[in-house]
């Protein structure tokens, strides 16, 4: 069952992923995705999540800020805390590197019946909910 799910998932991603134009590392995508998915991310959180040193996480974040994909915001309540946020361009980068291509997906879904589409959505929704 696990191997089947992994095979189906990789087939879907391989066939329906968008064309990726940016030269960006997997580590950088993971950082952008963490900032997108989790509230109040700080460099220490990234270091902990990725099991890397604070300095390494800081260097990755500096590069992402330099590229205009992230920005930093100091906490109003505690000036020692600096939160990371995606820029609009950063959001676009995460979308292109982690989601399926809208047009390709639309074409594939149009080949399914309404009932089949509902089953696909329900299955993905269920997996998403239990993964959290």
104 band by pLDDT with thresholds 50, 70 and 90: very high
- pTM exceeding the 0.85 threshold for the entire prediction: no
Query: 9: which 2 tokens?
Result: 């998932």
Q: What is the third-level CATH fold of 18-99?
A: Arc Repressor Mutant, subunit A (1.10.10)
pLDDT digits (tens, 9 = 90+) for 27-68: 999 999 999 999 899 999 999 999 999 999 999 999 999 999
What percent of the chain stands above pLDDT 70? 100
Q: Is residue 41 a contact partner of residue 34, using CB atoms and an 8 Å limit?
A: yes
């Amino acid at each position: 069952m696990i191997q089947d799910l992994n095979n189906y998932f990789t087939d879907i991603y391989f066939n329906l992923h968008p064309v990726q134009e940016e030269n960006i590392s997997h580590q950088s995508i993971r950082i952008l995705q963490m900032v997108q998915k989790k509230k109040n991310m700080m460099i220490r959180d990234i270091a902990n999540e990725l099991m890397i040193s604070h300095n390494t996480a800081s260097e990755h974040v500096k590069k992402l800020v330099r590229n205009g994909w992230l920005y930093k915001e100091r906490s109003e309540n505690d000036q020692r805390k600096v939160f990371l946020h995606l820029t609009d361009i950063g959001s676009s980068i995460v979308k292109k590197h982690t989601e399926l291509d809208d047009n390709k997906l639309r074409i594939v879904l149009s080949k399914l019946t309404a009932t089949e589409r509902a089953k696909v959505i329900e299955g993905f929704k269920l997996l998403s909910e239990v993964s959290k």
